Amino acid sequence: MPSTILKILLPLVVLAGGGFAALKIRQSEKMPEPRETTVHDPVVRVVPVRRDDVTLDVTTYGTVRSRTEIQVVPRVTGRVEYVAPGFRDGGFFKKGEVLVRIEREDYELAKTRAGAFVSQAEARLERELAEAEVAKKEWDEFGKGEAPALVLREPQLAEARAALSSAKATLAAAELDLGRTEIRAWFDGRVRQESVEVGQFLMAGSRIATVYGTDFAEVRLSIPDDQLGYLDLPVLRDIAAGSHAGNLIPVRLSTTMSGTRFQWDGEIARTEAEVDPRTRVIYCVARVRDPYAVGENGRPPLMIGMYLKAVIPGRRVEGVASVPRSALRGRNRVLVVDADDRIRWRTVEILRKQSARVLIKSGLEVGERVCLTDLETPIEGMKVRVETRR
């Protein structure tokens, strides 16, 4: 019996002792002093608003092409006896230079025969004129009334004159063919591709080369319809109509080769006649004078097929605010920090969005501070601290 009571009381004594010890430990601890909670205002970066006059440049790209390109085709048949040294792929030539010469003997003989026919026709006409004069005198002496046309040999004279005209035309054609045995350059140019050699027999009308002019090069530039408003469209219409040549729009063309940037100055010569129905762009054609001249700092010639960047100066707009694109919130809103360092929402009228900046036409005043920091939950009137740059 006593052992049973001991088994019951012993755990109770242990639990009571543990509870008493815990109470004493808790009573010996010092309670922490309460602290005031401080809420820090977010730090933001700002940029002051300033207004400037800006030119709304339009940047686009295009490929160099020739302004004048033709197929060289012989107009007479014959064997080639001469090909100009520069008349090779990539070769240059000057206006009036003989590019290809075809053997002339057959055409010189044809000219001689035609000349002989002219002489015969002239002699026949002289004979008919003389006989007509004799016939008229005889009629005046022996005839009565008006002389018949046949008596006066008028049909024979008409036939002789026609024969002479035909012979002269044949001579002129022979002279043309003889002249066409020499194919001359119509302009200063360069050979894109040729396929003719000395000794080759050419047929009239066969293509032997493709050449293009070197006085100008052209670059076809695409202008999206949303960029057209930045350009001076009335001038473009004048150019398309072929007037106001003195108002050509300048354009700066450039490319990078081996890490070096090269530039060419050109001008918008014309616009094409229609808007591309698929891409909704209009094409302008820039023209560069003397594209093969070697420029300063080793600038290479403007080669056909080169891909170029083009910057076209557009309309000039006064009093435009420019802010970093990171300042834009949504489509057309920004955050402004007022004089009390509080956030204010502002709706602005955007003139143009660029890659790094936004041009704002209205909605911001000079000197106002635009917030650049991306706040998580900006609230109207929220207090902020403006970052002080050292």
pTM attached to this predicted model: 0.67
Instruction: Give the pLDDT confidence score for residue 383 in this predicted structure.
Output: 92
Token couple for 155 = 């049909």
Count of alpha carbons within 13 Å of 239, Cβ hemisphere only? 21
Beta bridge partners of residue 287, listed in sequence order: 218, 267
Token couple for 45 = 């970066």
Q: What is the pLDDT of the chain when averaged over all its residues? A: 85
pLDDT tens-digit map of 227-238? 887 887 544 555
The DSSP secondary-structure symbol of 325 reads G
The yes or no reply on domain 75-103+182-213 and CATH 2.40.50.100 is yes
The yes or no reply on domain 216-316 and CATH 2.40.30 is yes
CA distances from 345 to 154, 202, 332, 348, 379 (A): 104, 79, 11, 10, 8
Report the CATH fold assignment for 46-54+317-386. Answer: 2.40.420
Task: Give the DSSP H or E segment for 346.
Answer: strand 343-347
pLDDT above 90: residue 243: no
The burial class, CB within 10 Å (0-12 / 13-18 / 19+), for 374 is exposed
The burial class, CB within 10 Å (0-12 / 13-18 / 19+), for 124 is middle
Task: Give the DSSP H or E segment for 104.
Answer: none
Instruction: Give the pLDDT confidence score for residue 32 in this predicted structure.
Output: 58
The DSSP secondary-structure symbol of 324 reads E
pLDDT above 70: residue 21: no
Tokens 């509080």, located at residue: 342
Q: Enumerate the H helices of the chain as residue ranges.
A: 2-28, 105-142, 154-179, 233-240
Confidence class of residue 244 from pLDDT cuts 50, 70 and 90? very low
Instruction: Give the pLDDT confidence score for residue 41 in this predicted structure.
Output: 83
CA–CA distance, 337 with 113 (Å, rounded to integer): 99
Token couple for 315 = 């309309």
pLDDT tens-digit map of 354-387? 888 899 999 999 999 999 998 888 889 999 988 8
